[in-house]
Chain A
């Protein structure tokens, strides 16, 4: 059963608390991504990683942190500095094949709410 697994499906954060969203993939994809989606809007890139032990900021990285210690895993921490964290968080992974085509799939997402 291959794919991208995000957990938990629902998460509640108390004020001042850091929370970590898990993303694991067994597709052997090199690149992994975190997006945020607010109601009625498209996806905005938070962080991405093209290789183990390296990652880059996306368009809305403030208040978030990531690590990429293993190829399979790309956890996202929503820190207390993120003042409006309520959103749908999506993890994706991708691979570039020899023909130049990119294959990119998403996990099922984590819905984060503030208590």
Chain B
């Protein structure tokens, strides 16, 4: 993705907690999406942060710092089905479009 950095791969153990980081250039971006994408399937919406801070939704939480161009997705109580790619996508409200990172492939092991 354009100046959007995510780790390429991560591995974690079932039941553990994992944090997937995303950094981006701050210019013009107002909010940020996180998507989950299983192999061969379309992305599934996880979260959209428009304010700084942490938002929690069940086992998944997402954090945003717009001034620092930094976000993370926190996955708790990992399950095998959480093995997927996680896509970070900052959004420009004025332009009405997102820019996607290349994604982080998470592998959950027993």
Is chain B a partner of chain A in the same complex? yes
Check B102 against A42 for contact (C-beta < 8 Å): yes
Q: Is A43 an interface residue (CB 8 A)?
A: yes
Q: Is A33 an interface residue (CB 8 A)?
A: yes
Check A108 against B96 for contact (C-beta < 8 Å): no
Helix, strand, loop or mixed for chain B's interface? Answer: loop
A109 nearest CB neighbor, chain B only: B42
Contacts of B99 in A (CB 8 A): 45
Stretch from A14-22, A68-76, A78-86, A99-107 at the B interface: A99-107
Helix, strand, loop or mixed for chain A's interface? Answer: strand
Within 8 A of A (CB), among B32-59: 33, 35, 41-45, 48, 50
Check B100 against A104 for contact (C-beta < 8 Å): no
Interface string of B72-110 (1 = CB under 8 A from A): 000000000000000101010100111111110000000
Contacts of B98 in A (CB 8 A): 45, 104
**Interface size range of chain A in the complex:** 20 to 34
Check A104 against B97 for contact (C-beta < 8 Å): no
Contacts of A90 in B (CB 8 A): 42-43
CB proximity of A90 to chain B, nearest CB, Å: 6
CA distance A106 to B41 in the complex (A): 10
Q: Is A31 an interface residue (CB 8 A)?
A: yes
Contacts of B69 in A (CB 8 A): none
Contacts of B96 in A (CB 8 A): 31, 48, 50, 94, 96
CA distance A89 to B48 in the complex (A): 22
Check A103 against B42 for contact (C-beta < 8 Å): no
Check B43 against A106 for contact (C-beta < 8 Å): yes
Q: Is B1 an interface residue (CB 8 A)?
A: yes
B43 nearest CB neighbor, chain A only: A106
Task: Given A41-B103, A106-B45, output 15 extra A-B contacts at Cβ < 8 Å.
Answer: A35-B100, A40-B102, A41-B102, A42-B101, A42-B103, A43-B100, A99-B50, A100-B31, A100-B93, A102-B33, A104-B33, A104-B98, A106-B35, A106-B42, A108-B42
* Residues in chain A within 8 A of chain B (CB atoms): 31, 33, 35, 40-45, 48, 50, 58-59, 90, 94, 96, 99-109
